[in-house]
């Protein structure tokens, strides 16, 4: 007998500032039939349910005005392979903001085992984006905004964020604040919001980070604004992430698995431009980037077109670094990659 299947795949309860926005990663929704969204807030805003076939381009958007403050509920049909939520707050800062994305379907007993197993566990569904603006010539390099070797931290440190544009300021029209998602010295998940100053002034975090998994602009000064200059994220003067001007999010092809979680990589996508490239998916276990061996867990043959890879799900243990490297046969290529994953709480 088929049975109902439901997965709560995104929740948030951090209020947004004036004109603040919140965007989820894309979620793979194969095998589900309905999308439920629940919103509770105290001020006006706009909810966008964005559908995509490739996790890059938006093919259809369902736009909903949120004006019902005692709770808003919407159900719509699955019409694409991927979906994400985007929420834009109005001209009054929120004191309450709760949002849930729930997927439902009628599933048979032999449904995909990974999805079945994560129903009743703490689970995070996400995407890691990586980008190199100009590749090196016939050299192996990690895929992130700076290119070359990624700068893994060896000790927990405060992080600093800096922009050279005066508009990237808590009172400016550009990026006003940035939220950092990372791991502390025990590899437990932490996050912190940093208000920007602009004008080349570094603003430190109050927490110590051993890893940075993602950073994104949390609040901007205008409804359709973004960061006006590159936002560099540094630890003791060493760059570990860059939010490129106007993009609002880091694109490090690097992810560190939190303590007490397992990672399941489900897809790897590559767009390598005109020339042939080799892509490597690497990991280092045991929270020890210095002495533990690097293991290549997946590699491609030479590719020269957008392509989606992986024949099977790859499992990665807790407290492991995972990152993507590239070997190009010609320099100065743009290369973008992403891998999709689930995080499941370890028993």
pLDDT category at 302 given cuts 50, 70, 90 is low
Task: Determine the pLDDT at residue 305.
Answer: 56
Task: Determine the pLDDT at residue 7.
Answer: 54
Nearest to 254 by CA among 306, 322, 206, 187: 322
Of 277 and 338, the structure prediction assigns the larger pLDDT to 338
Of 306 and 239, the structure prediction assigns the larger pLDDT to 239
Q: Rounded to 5 degrees, what are φ and ψ at 271?
A: -125, 110
Q: Is residue 42 over pLDDT 80?
A: yes
What are the E-state strand segments in 71-202?
Answer: 72-77, 82-89, 97-107, 123-132, 140-142, 160-162, 175-183, 189-195
Six-digit token pair at 281? 């998916």
Q: Is residue 28 over pLDDT 90?
A: no
Of 309 and 280, the structure prediction assigns the larger pLDDT to 280
**What average pLDDT does the structure give for the chain?**
82
Task: Determine the pLDDT at residue 329.
Answer: 72
pLDDT digits (tens, 9 = 90+) for 163-187: 999 999 999 999 999 999 999 999 9
* Phi-psi label, residue 274: left if phi above 0, alpha if psi -120 to 50, beta otherwise: alpha
Surface-to-core class of residue 290, CB atoms within 10 Å of its CB (0-12 exposed, 13-18 middle, 19+ buried): exposed
If DSSP states are collapsed to H, E and C, what string results for 220-276? ECCCCCCCCCCEEEEECCEEEEEECCCCCECCCCEEECCCCEEEEEEEEEEECCCCC
pLDDT digits (tens, 9 = 90+) for 251-278: 999 999 999 998 888 778 777 665 567 7
Six-digit token pair at 183? 């791991």
- Dmax (CA) for the chain in angstroms is 63
Out of 5-19, 45-59, 147-161, 276-290, least confident range: 5-19
Are 9 and 78 within 8 A, CB to CB? no
This prediction's pTM: 0.65
DSSP 208-224: -BSEEEEEEEEEESSTT
- In eight-state DSSP terms, residue 31 is T
Of 31 and 132, the structure prediction assigns the larger pLDDT to 132
Nearest to 89 by CA among 42, 143, 148: 42
All domains in the chain, ordered by first residue: 3-120 (2.60.120.380), 127-150+254-345 (2.60.120), 160-243 (no CATH)
Are 264 and 303 within 8 A, CB to CB? no
Nearest to 270 by CA among 136, 128, 164, 149: 128
**Cα 233 from chain centroid?**
16
Task: Determine the pLDDT at residue 273.
Answer: 62
């Amino acid at each position: 007998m088929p049975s109902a299947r439901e997965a709560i795949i995104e929740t948030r309860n951090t209020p947004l500032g004036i004109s603040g926005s919140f965007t989820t990663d894309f979620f793979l929704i194969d095998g589900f039939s309905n999308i439920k969204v629940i919103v509770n807030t105290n001020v006006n805003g706009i909810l966008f349910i964005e559908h995509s076939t490739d996790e890059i381009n938006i093919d259809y958007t369902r736009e909903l005005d949120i004006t019902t403050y005692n709770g808003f509920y919407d159900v719509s049909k699955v019409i694409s392979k991927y979906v994400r939520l985007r929420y834009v707050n109005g001209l009054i800062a929120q004191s309450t903001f709760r949002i849930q994305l729930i997927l439902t379907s009628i599933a048979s007993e032999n449904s995909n085992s990974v999805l079945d197993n994560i129903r009743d566990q703490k689970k995070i569904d996400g995407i890691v984006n990586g980008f190199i603006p100009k590749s090196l010539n016939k050299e192996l390099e990690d895929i992130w905004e700076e290119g070359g070797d990624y700068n893994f931290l060896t000790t927990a440190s405060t992080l600093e964020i800096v922009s050279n544009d005066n508009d990237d300021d808590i009172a400016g029209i550009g990026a006003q604040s940035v939220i950092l998602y990372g791991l502390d010295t025990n590899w437990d998940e932490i996050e912190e919001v940093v208000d920007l100053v602009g004008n080349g002034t570094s603003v430190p975090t109050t927490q110590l980070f051993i890893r940075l998994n993602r950073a994104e602009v949390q609040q901007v000064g205008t409804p359709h604004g973004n960061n006006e200059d590159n936002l560099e994220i540094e630890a003791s003067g060493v760059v570990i992430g860059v939010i490129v001007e106007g993009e609002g999010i880091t694109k490090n092809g690097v992810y560190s698995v939190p303590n007490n979680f397992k990672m399941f990589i489900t897809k790897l996508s590559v767009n390598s431009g005109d020339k042939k490239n080799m892509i490597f998916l690497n990991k280092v276990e045991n929270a020890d980037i210095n002495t533990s061996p690097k293991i290549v867990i997946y590699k491609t043959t030479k590719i020269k077109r957008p392509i989606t890879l992986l024949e099977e799900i790859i499992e990665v243990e807790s407290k492991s670094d995972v990152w993507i490297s590239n070997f190009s046969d010609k320099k100065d290529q743009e290369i973008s990659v992403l891998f999709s994953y689930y995080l499941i709480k370890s028993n």
